[in-house]
């Protein structure tokens, strides 16, 4: 059989049009730069713990598929999070995979995903990849939930999945607890599932797990998602999902076998055995955040600095693109979010780092305004 004259073009035509129209998730090149764009924990393990972890990882049977350590990590995370009674926990290759699995499990013709915007880009991307509709409901001008608009959108679209980041990315907002519960109630009334994304929980003043324990029936359609990235293991790519056992069991059916490697499991187990080290790091970053917020508010040329319940701070400047470029020239990389959504016009997102990193970032910012 003679192939068509341009087999490459024919092959590309097999790719779904919506995929071809998408933009890939881009990670900025940070070579030679102070990386303050991705909300990473700036602290490494102490040398003695590095050696101990290396010995444990080196002893793993990497010739075998991941085995019982998956279950061991599930149990350890359940204890660490004080998982509510009647719940179950599954693991993901980062929370990104868990977002995709939830969307995949709900991917029926005509189904919709709903989330406030601006928010984490993977909610919309995962919906699109799984063939679900996506409805983004704008936040208020101060990045609070627009309760009326959210309730109207839930009633109109009857979403299969509603994502609520708690705190939100990129705004670092921890929304009003009563408003969040009323939105959860509304989503439940139309038969929907709510995913509460607590990626930044180590830096927040409260957790939705407390509401799930206090009113389990009212939150019986809630899945709570966390990641160990902000705990201090961004390189390990490990997330976990907690929710009612029956509901989580259905999500687990679409999880690929062996989705979390033995290396990731062992690194996470090791970290949980030394949780006090990571808790001290999170406490140091919360203190650094307070200092950073005060310093930013004292800088002339910054139009707005928002409060933060995460390890990032959102600011508005006169010219985000120019300031971003000038900071990069000074070897400091932050995130220019000004084109993500109209509400983010002229906004930059800054990671909260160590005291030294924050001082260097502030100096570059002041010189770039």
Cα distance from N-terminal residue to C-terminal residue, the chain: 64
In a domain, 56, yes or no: no
Domain end call among 221, 242, 273 = 273
pLDDT (0 to 100) of residue 310? 97
Residue 89 pairs with which residues in a beta bridge? 242
Judged against a pLDDT cut of 70, whether residue 5 lies above it is answered with: no
* 281 plus 267 within the same structural domain: no
Question: Interior CA angle at 308 toward 205 and 275, to 5°?
Answer: 50
Q: How far is CA 267 from the centre of its chain?
A: 20
- Do 156 and 126 share a domain, yes or no? yes
Q: How far apart are CA 124 and CA 175, in angstroms?
A: 20
Q: Do both 262 and 209 map to the same domain?
A: yes
pLDDT at residue 22 tops 80: no
Would you say residue 5 lies in a domain?
A: no
Q: CATH number of the domain that 24 lies in?
A: 3.90.1150.10
Domain identity same for 143 and 22: no
Residue 28 pLDDT > 80, yes or no? no
pLDDT digits (tens, 9 = 90+) for 336-362: 999 999 999 999 999 999 999 999 999
How high is the pLDDT of residue 10? Answer: 78
Last residue of a domain, one of 273, 302, 336: 273
Cα 302 from Cα 323, distance rounded (Å): 11
Residue 130 shares a structural domain with residue 36: no
The mean of the pLDDT values for the chain is 94
pLDDT band at 7 (very low <50, low <70, confident <90, very high): confident
136, 171: one domain: yes
Q: What is the pLDDT of residue 30?
A: 73
Q: Is residue 48 part of a domain?
A: no
pLDDT of residue 14: 86
Q: Note whether residue 307 is domain-resident.
A: yes
Answer yes or no: is 45 within a domain.
Answer: no
Q: Cα separation of 279 and 230, whole Å?
A: 11
Q: What backbone torsions phi and psi does residue 35 show, to the nearest 5 degrees?
A: -90, 100
**Percent of the chain whose predicted confidence (pLDDT) is above 70:** 99
The answer to whether residue 241 sits within a structural domain is yes
Q: What is the mean pLDDT of residues 136-165?
A: 98
On whether both 240 and 139 belong to a single domain, the answer is yes
Please name the helix (run of DSSP H) or strand (run of DSSP E) that holds residue 265, with its range, or none.
Answer: helix 262-273
Dist. CA 86–CA 215, nearest whole Å: 12
pLDDT of the residue at 2: 64
Predicted confidence at residue 212, as pLDDT, reads 97
If asked whether residues 127 and 215 sit together in one domain, one would say yes
State the pLDDT at residue 164.
98
Mean pLDDT of 204-233: 95
Q: Which domain holds residue 21?
A: 11-40+276-368
pLDDT, one tens digit per residue, over 72-82 is 999 999 999 99
> 110 pLDDT band (50/70/90 cuts)?
very high
Q: CA nearest 137: which of 359, 274, 341, 312?
A: 341
**Model confidence at 20: pLDDT above 90:** no
Residues 260-272 have a mean pLDDT of: 95
Residues 95 and 154 in one domain: yes
Confidence of residue 3 (pLDDT cuts 50, 70, 90): low
Q: What's the domain count of the chain?
A: 2
Is residue 8 scored above 90 in pLDDT?
no
Q: Indicate if 158 and 231 belong to the same structural domain.
A: yes
Let me know: does 61 contact 216? Beta carbons within 8 Å: no
User: Does some domain include residue 6?
Assistant: no
Q: What is the pLDDT, as a whole number, of residue 1?
A: 62
**Domain match, 18 and 142 both:** no
Q: Are residues 253 and 284 in the same domain?
A: no
Cα distance between residue 81 and residue 242, in whole Å: 9
Q: What is the pLDDT of residues 165-215, one digit of tens each?
A: 999 999 999 999 999 999 999 999 999 999 999 999 999 999 999 999 999
- Write down the residue that tokens 């700036």 correspond to: 42
What CATH number is associated with residue 70?
3.40.640.10
State the residue for tokens 């921890």. 174
pTM score, two decimals?
0.93
Q: Is residue 53 part of a domain?
A: no
Q: Among 241, 273, 305, where does a domain finish?
A: 273
Is a pLDDT exceeding 80 seen at residue 225? Answer: yes
């Amino acid at each position: 059989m003679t192939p068509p004259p341009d087999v490459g073009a024919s092959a590309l035509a097999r790719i779904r049009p919506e995929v071809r129209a998408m933009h890939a998730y881009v990670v900025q090149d940070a070579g030679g730069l102070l990386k303050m764009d991705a909300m990473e924990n700036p602290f490494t393990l102490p040398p003695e713990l590095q050696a101990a972890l290396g010995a444990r990882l080196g002893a793993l049977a990497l010739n075998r598929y991941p085995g019982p350590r998956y279950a061991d990590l599930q149990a350890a995370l359940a204890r660490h999070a004080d998982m509510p009674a009647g719940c179950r926990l599954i693991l993901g290759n980062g929370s990104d995979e868990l977002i995709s699995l939830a969307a995949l499990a709900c991917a029926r013709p005509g189904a919709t995903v709903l989330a406030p915007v601006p928010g984490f880009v993977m909610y919309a991307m995962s919906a699109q990849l799984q063939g679900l509709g996506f409805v983004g409901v704008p936040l208020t001008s101060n990045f609070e939930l627009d309760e009326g608009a959210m309730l109207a959108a839930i009633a109109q679209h009857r979403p299969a999945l509603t994502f609520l980041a708690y705190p939100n990315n990129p705004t670092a907002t921890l929304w009003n607890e009563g408003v969040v519960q009323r939105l959860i109630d509304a989503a439940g009334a139309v038969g929907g599932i709510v995913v509460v994304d607590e990626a930044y929980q180590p830096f927040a003043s409260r957790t939705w797990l407390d509401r799930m324990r206090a009113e389990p029936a009212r939150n019986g359609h809630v899945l709570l998602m966390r990641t160990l990235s902000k705990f201090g293991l961004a390189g390990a790519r490990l997330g976990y999902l907690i929710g009612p056992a029956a509901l989580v069991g259905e999500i687990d059916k679409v999880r690929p076998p062996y989705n979390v490697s033995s290396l990731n499991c062992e690194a996470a187990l090791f970290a949980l055995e030394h949780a006090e080290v990571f808790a001290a790091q999170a406490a140091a970053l919360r203190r650094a955040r307070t200092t950073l917020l005060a310093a930013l508010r004292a800088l002339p040329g910054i139009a707005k600095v928002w409060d933060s319940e995460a390890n990032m701070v959102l600011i508005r400047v006169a010219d985000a693109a120019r300031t971003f470029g000038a900071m990069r020239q000074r070897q400091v990389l932050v995130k220019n979010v000004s084109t993500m959504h109209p509400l983010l016009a002229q906004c930059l997102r800054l990671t909260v780092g160590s005291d030294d990193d924050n001082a260097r970032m502030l100096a570059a910012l002041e010189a770039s305004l």
